[in-house]
């Protein structure tokens, strides 16, 4: 009898051990180079949340949202992180992907003004000069903000300049404001000695979807449980980072030691403040608002000349955020 019990115990131990070793390999492609807001993904790896869900996750830095869409569409990476407008654009061009989780549901786009320019509203921008990069998403939909404020398309002057040059132009006071991110440039400028005021796009009628997790449709069809487990682990990571932001940033610094700890912490907190949709306070982490998808699609059709007969439900699915 004792011999039999030992055999049973050994069999159970081997089964548990085998289960622990059976990890699905998966990869996540970020939208850009690692910065503070990305840190909770690394926290999830460090804390073992993905491993607990049977996922051996590797994370790669990115070269833009559009590139992440292409990579996941080609199945070179399992999951991708991109802004909602890039996901829509990719799908309408044939990328076989679907968004399964909202990471930044409120738009991070903002008009960032010099505090000494005394610009507090969109109306205050009339006749002012704003730095922007040609083709950036915030610039493309800027006419919608002017229209909401009942201002003409030529009410604001633009200095077209590259991304790094926008910050320099602000610091040199060659412009009154710039287009940028609440969790990025809006934090970098004060760190460099320039107080700023921000006008979030989400507050002035242009709340396009921020960052979302997307996956190839073939993965959804063949391994939907992997998607559920990935979302669940990411939800745990975000929830832990909300309560322990310093620990989250520390996990990222393990991977990228030259990360500015103070700036990264500010970026994480600013990004987490944009995590939930305006109408998603009582929804699970990662839930995406149908209204925000509809508005993003509407603005893209109107200001990016997007030609599509698709509806918002063609681009996303909320079924995975509620998975238990």
Give the Cα separation of 99 and 80 in Å (integer): 9
The fraction of the chain above a pLDDT of 70, given in percent, is: 93
> What is the predicted pLDDT for the residue at 240?
98
- Summarize the confidence of residues 143-154 as an average pLDDT: 93
CA distances (Å), 192 to each of 37, 83, 259, in order?
20, 27, 16
Using an 8 Å Cβ cutoff, are 98 and 79 in contact? Answer: no
pLDDT in tens, 22-46: 799 999 999 989 999 999 999 999 9
pLDDT-derived band at 287 (thresholds 50, 70, 90) equals very high
Q: What is the residue-wise DSSP string for 81-108?
A: EEEHHHHHHHHHTT--EEEEEES--S--
Q: pLDDT-based confidence at 10, cuts 50/70/90?
A: very low
Q: Is the pLDDT of residue 128 over 50?
A: yes
* pLDDT, tens digit (0-9, with 9 covering 90-100), for 212-225: 999 999 999 999 99
pLDDT at 134: 81
Band of pLDDT at residue 2, cut at 50, 70 and 90: low
Q: Cα separation of 84 and 293, whole Å?
A: 8
Residue 13: other Cβ atoms inside 10 A: 10
Using CB atoms within 10 Å of the CB of residue 324, give its burial: 0 to 12 exposed, 13 to 18 middle, 19+ buried. Answer: exposed
The predicted-structure confidence for 53-85, as pLDDT tens digits, reads as follows: 999 999 999 988 999 999 999 999 999 999 999
Residues 258-280 pLDDT 10s: 999 999 999 999 999 999 998 88
Q: What is the pLDDT of residues 180-235, one digit of tens each?
A: 999 989 999 999 999 999 999 989 988 889 999 999 999 999 999 999 999 999 99
Q: What is the mean pLDDT of the chain?
A: 91
- Mean pLDDT on 166-188: 95
Dihedral, CA atoms, 49, 258, 107, 28, nearest 10 degrees? -40
Q: Per the confidence metrics, is the pTM higher than 0.95?
A: no
Torsion of CA 117, 122, 123, 126, to 10 degrees: 60
* Whole-number pLDDT of residue 323: 61
């Amino acid at each position: 009898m004792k011999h039999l019990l030992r055999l049973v115990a050994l069999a159970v131990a081997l089964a548990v051990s085998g289960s622990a070793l059976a990890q699905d390999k998966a990869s996540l492609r970020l939208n850009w180079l690692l910065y503070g807001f990305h840190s909770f993904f690394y926290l999830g790896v460090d804390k073992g949340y993905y491993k607990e869900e049977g996922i051996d996750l590797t994370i790669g830095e990115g070269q833009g949202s559009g590139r992440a869409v292409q990579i996941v569409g080609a199945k070179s990476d399992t999951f991708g992180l991109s802004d909602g407008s890039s996901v829509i654009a990719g799908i309408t061009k044939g990328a076989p992907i679907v968004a399964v989780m909202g990471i930044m549901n409120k738009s991070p786009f903002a008009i960032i003004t010099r505090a000494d320019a005394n610009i507090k509203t969109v109306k205050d921008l009339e006749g002012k000069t704003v730095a922007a990069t040609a083709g950036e998403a915030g610039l493309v939909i800027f006419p919608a903000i002017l229209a909401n404020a009942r201002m003409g398309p030529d009410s604001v002057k633009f200095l077209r300049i590259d991304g790094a040059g926008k910050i320099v132009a602000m610091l040199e006071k060659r412009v009154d404001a710039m287009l940028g991110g609440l969790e990025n440039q809006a934090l970098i400028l004060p760190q460099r000695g320039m107080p700023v005021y921000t006008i979030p796009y989400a507050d002035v009628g242009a709340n396009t979807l921020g960052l979302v997790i997307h996956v190839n449709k073939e993965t959804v069809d063949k391994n939907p449980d992997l998607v559920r487990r990935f979302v669940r682990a990411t939800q745990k990571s975000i929830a832990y980072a909300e309560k322990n932001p310093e620990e989250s940033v520390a996990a990222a610094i393990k991977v990228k030691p030259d990360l500015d700890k103070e700036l990264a912490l500010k970026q994480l907190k600013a990004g987490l403040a944009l995590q939930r949709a305006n109408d998603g306070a009582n929804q699970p982490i990662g839930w995406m608002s149908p209204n925000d998808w509809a508005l993003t699609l509407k603005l893209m059709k109107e200001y990016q000349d997007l030609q599509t007969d698709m509806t918002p439900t063609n681009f996303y699915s909320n079924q995975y955020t509620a998975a238990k």
